[in-house]
Amino acid sequence: MTYSKDENRKNKAIRADIYGEAMFFLIPVLGLFCVSIAKNSASIKDIFYYLLTTSDWSLMSTVIFGQCAHKMAKIVPMMQRNINSSQYSFYVAKRIFLIVVSMLTYSIIIFFPNIYLGIIQIIIFLLAIFIFLQDSFATHKLLDKNNTN
């Protein structure tokens, strides 16, 4: 019975740590909303258009995907031989691909801002947050596995 209580407490601590990190992504989003309201206070339509066509979403996605790759890169040396190099290479390739897609979206929306690209970049941003949460849980599991071995 105490094992499950300790395990439950540990899982709550891990979730709190991960959600605490993710909360810092909301600070730039809040700033983006404040700036868009202050800059385009004429109408709600102008505010939404600015929010959709600003390139900040893509830039934030790039940073988040980079954070994911960095976080995992810190863990892998600690794992020594417990990591499958093929799977790790595939992981790195996926994160680099997502960074490139985010940067490409950033570049395109700067030169050709439109609503459709805006929606795409917000979807990429939400994907970045989701992947960040997944990767954070994975790094905690890897660390836990490494500490028990």
Spans of all domains in the chain:
2-148
What average pLDDT score do residues 118-143 get?
Answer: 91
Average pLDDT over residues 118-140: 92
pTM of the model: 0.83
pLDDT at residue 22, rounded to an integer: 77
d(CA 64, CA 99): 9
Sign, CA dihedral 137-31-116-109, equals negative
Tell me the residue length of the chain: 149
CA 77 to chain CA mean position, Å: 22
Of 57, 65, 68, which is closest to residue 120 (Cα–Cα)? 57
Res 148 pLDDT > 80: no
Tens of pLDDT along 23-69? 888 888 888 888 878 877 778 888 888 888 888 999 999 999 999 98
Per-residue pLDDT tens for 5-20? 777 777 787 778 778 7
Q: Tell me the average pLDDT of the chain.
A: 85
Q: Which residue has the higher pLDDT, 137 or 83?
A: 137
Angle at 40 between CA 26 and CA 27, to 5 degrees: 10
Other CB atoms within a 10 A radius of the CB of residue 36 amount to 19
Q: Which residue has the tokens 């917000």?
A: 122
Query: At a CB cut-off of 8 Å and minimum separation 6, what does 47 contact?
Result: 36, 37, 40, 41
Q: What's the pLDDT score for residue 1?
A: 46
